[in-house]
Structure 1
């Protein structure tokens, strides 16, 4: 039964969709199968199917041979029934539950407005990434959204480019030139937070780094170092601790930063989950927040307003990122269906510094 608009469908793996063996003719072949068989882009196949003139005779003949070899048939009735309806895939791997929840709310809202359906696939390693992409293709995905950390996976993005799948990378710190993306300026946001802590009089600031495989984590740390250096301050190595964007890593990192008598007056964690872990450690040590230790995070996920005291953080409009990503991939998918070219676009949404009770001037 097809999904209703705006609903989420968890797709299950199928034997055919998971196969990585060379192509063999089979029933139910898709446009993507034809493109791979003919060694052309899916857009070229779409142009041939739609009778577009901007295809050479040789290419058209090659595509038609593949169509016949695979027994591909355009289901006219199904196509008519789905006019205006697109299927958007969401490919994710070990996401932050808070990030994914907020992102899904925005993505589903925009899918509903766009008359699109949302398909979810999860994956971990390189092999499962390929299988997940193949399952999305098998279930009729017209475009794919790739939130972190897969937005920075060269293998996943390469695979999607190979099949000319309309793709939008979400919240990547370093968007690829040939892949559309929606994001915020992570570097500028982290620099703004560091300058804010400096403006409160903090000069001894500890930093909890995020997962080194995530480009936003790299940018946030670089911005912290640059802002401290710009203020004429040297950050000792013991004030920098590696985290992994998880609450548990925030606990472990904060214990290291707050051990002993020499403690920083503030901690800046590269995301809210780790900042929440730092708050828990400070409470366990009977440190007053913010009087004894100020703590700041990044993202403004729901945890920022459920911990006590409320967390000062950089607001990343995650729901808006979801809406913008769907809007962009729908635009590209419609162009693909029509056999038309579309431009790669990079959208940068504004962030906001949210000041709450976890920070205060050291003079207060």
Structure 2
């Protein structure tokens, strides 16, 4: 039996009753197609199970781009969500994603080593994940090399690079306010590493909410973590052995919150009846542990998708040369079993 040849763009066009150019425009997400026509084309693609040849598509139109995503980040849950979304968006746009994990560099993370690694790839554009995204010297080096950059979670309107950020301050404020509304007044906070741009912002949101409700900031309830499960677990003793232990702890990412749950349960503490614990990000680990974690839903996938779209626009012939700054300010709290009212 002869193997069925792949469905072609011509067959999709005939099925939808449109030109091949219109199908191409729908595939490339161009905005020159009427909504009704786009829906008809998408229905034809689904009906025929059409799979575009992304490499051929990109080369034929001269639009295929090599986009880098560099990271040096301790949170595997965050990275998983980020990479999956960036890969999907690159695939949909016909681009190619080069993932550069810089965590294998031994010793101090030197910018010259990073530049050497990245310059050999001949990238069309680069997405920098935090904390690399707030490395001003690195951002300048990339600009001097002519590599367009989109920085994640760090916004500097005066810079030459574009950025995609989440309103961490407002989100942390909202989460802390939820804890207060539940009746908690002694609320601990676990901050992330100091070099990470989100760490001070999330702490500011936490402290602003306490001030807004007339609750004094107790520095003895603020603990130093590094966004890893291990650091959250190691902090369990410090949290529980505090002079006046908190009734709730807001860990500024899910990995640390999950580690804290494991560490406190090892001490025999019941979560949440004896201690409520909440996190930030809503990564996969939040729903995988027990009790499941109440957390801030950070739109990691949307941020990754937006960053890829930005690089695609920046490297197009129609770009106006001005960096763009996008802040996603939709805040959603996912309430699960790790939070209750204090006893």
TM-score range normalised by the length of the shorter chain: 0.7 to 0.9
Q: Which residue does 2:43 correspond to in 1?
A: none
Q: Which residue does 2:281 correspond to in 1?
A: 299
Go from structure 1 to structure 2 and tell me whether the alpha carbon gap of 1:129 and 1:179 turns closer, same or farther (over 3 Å shift).
Answer: same
Go from structure 1 to structure 2 and tell me whether the alpha carbon gap of 1:201 and 1:148 turns closer, same or farther (over 3 Å shift).
Answer: same
**Does structure 1 residue 245 correspond to structure 2 residue 189?**
no
Find 2:208's aligned residue among 213, 222, 226: 226
**Does structure 1 residue 99 correspond to structure 2 residue 81?**
no
Taking the TM superposition and a 5 Å limit, the aligned residue runs for 1:102-181 are 102-123=81-102, 124=105, 128-172=110-154, 177-181=159-163
Q: Which residue does 1:348 correspond to in 2?
A: 327
> Secondary structure in 1 aligned to 2:172?
helix
Show CA shifts across 1:4-49 (max 9, x none).
Answer: xxxxxxxxxxxxxxxxxxxxxxxxxxxxxxxxxxxxxxxxxxxxxx
> Secondary structure in 2 aligned to 1:297?
strand
Find 1:236's aligned residue among 218, 229, 244: 218
Name the stretch that deviates more: 243-252 or 103-112: 243-252
Find 1:262's aligned residue among 244, 264, 285: 244
Taking the TM superposition and a 5 Å limit, the aligned residue runs for 1:1-364 are 83-123=62-102, 124=105, 128-172=110-154, 177-259=159-241, 262-335=244-317, 341-349=320-328, 350-362=330-342
Go from structure 1 to structure 2 and tell me whether the alpha carbon gap of 1:127 and 1:205 turns closer, same or farther (over 3 Å shift).
Answer: closer
| Ranges in structure 1 where 5+ consecutive residues have no aligned partner | 1-78
Distance across 2 between alignment mates of 1:136 and 1:331: 21
Go from structure 1 to structure 2 and tell me whether the alpha carbon gap of 1:162 and 1:122 turns closer, same or farther (over 3 Å shift).
Answer: same
Go from structure 1 to structure 2 and tell me whether the alpha carbon gap of 1:199 and 1:127 turns closer, same or farther (over 3 Å shift).
Answer: closer
TM-score if structure 1 supplies the norm length? 0.73
- Count of equivalent residues: 282
Conserved? CA contact 1:173–1:185, under 8 Å? no
> Secondary structure in 1 aligned to 2:227?
coil
Go from structure 1 to structure 2 and tell me whether the alpha carbon gap of 1:126 and 1:152 turns closer, same or farther (over 3 Å shift).
Answer: farther
Distance across 2 between alignment mates of 1:203 and 1:189: 19
Conserved? CA contact 1:174–1:215, under 8 Å? no
Conserved? CA contact 1:121–1:132, under 8 Å? no
Distance across 2 between alignment mates of 1:176 and 1:278: 38
TM-score if structure 2 supplies the norm length? 0.77
Conserved? CA contact 2:74–2:228, under 8 Å? no
Q: Which one scores higher on RCO, CA 8 angstroms, separation ≥ 6?
A: 1
Conserved? CA contact 1:207–1:268, under 8 Å? yes
> Secondary structure in 1 aligned to 2:312?
helix
Go from structure 1 to structure 2 and tell me whether the alpha carbon gap of 1:204 and 1:175 turns closer, same or farther (over 3 Å shift).
Answer: farther
Conserved? CA contact 2:142–2:149, under 8 Å? yes
> Secondary structure in 1 aligned to 2:235?
helix
> Secondary structure in 2 aligned to 1:160?
helix
Q: Give the C-alpha shift of residue 136 in structure 1.
A: 3.2
> Secondary structure in 2 aligned to 1:241?
strand
Conserved? CA contact 1:171–1:183, under 8 Å? yes
> Secondary structure in 2 aligned to 1:295?
strand
Distance across 1 between alignment mates of 2:83 and 2:188: 33
Conserved? CA contact 1:89–1:119, under 8 Å? yes
> Secondary structure in 2 aligned to 1:267?
strand
Distance across 2 between alignment mates of 1:95 and 1:278: 16
Distance across 1 between alignment mates of 2:235 and 2:222: 9
RMSD, aligned CA: 2.1
Distance across 2 between alignment mates of 1:126 and 1:156: 14
Go from structure 1 to structure 2 and tell me whether the alpha carbon gap of 1:120 and 1:203 turns closer, same or farther (over 3 Å shift).
Answer: same
Distance across 2 between alignment mates of 1:347 and 1:183: 6
